[in-house]
Amino acid sequence: MSITTLIGLIVLGLVAGLLSSLVGIGGGIVIVPALVFLFAMSQKMAQGTSLALLLPPVGIFAVINYYKAGYVDMKVAGVLIVAFVVGSFFGSKVSIGLPDNVVKKAFGVFLMIVSLKYLFFSK
């Protein structure tokens, strides 16, 4: 894993953790699209790796299935786990201080951006 990739994964984990606690979104909305579009992973590899990130709290049996099929990158998942925890701490601090309507609007805008990317800019 290159230093550039490592830094990118740390940033992704921090951003995903921050957004997760800020607007209540999970790995499927942040991690999976980022791994597909920014890190050139296949959809299945991205999904399996995202599930591995969530393994400690949820999804152990799904991760086992993806891992057995060869669709989990454990190095990537490990880096994302650490960065996600840090990002989620800071995201929760920010979210708690924002009005509900601001958090709802931020969530809606983010979902629109991701959906447009999937609809019009994916191969």
Higher per-residue pLDDT: 10 or 94: 10
Contact 96, 26 (CB under 8 A): no
Structural domain harbouring 106: 3-120
Could you tell me the pLDDT band of residue 83, with boundaries at 50, 70 and 90?
very high
61 to each of 48, 67, 75, how far by Cα in Å? 11, 10, 19
Overall number of domains in the chain: 1
Distance between CA atoms of residues 46 and 104, nearest Å? 26
- Total-model pTM: 0.60
Q: Can you give the pLDDT at residue 57?
A: 61
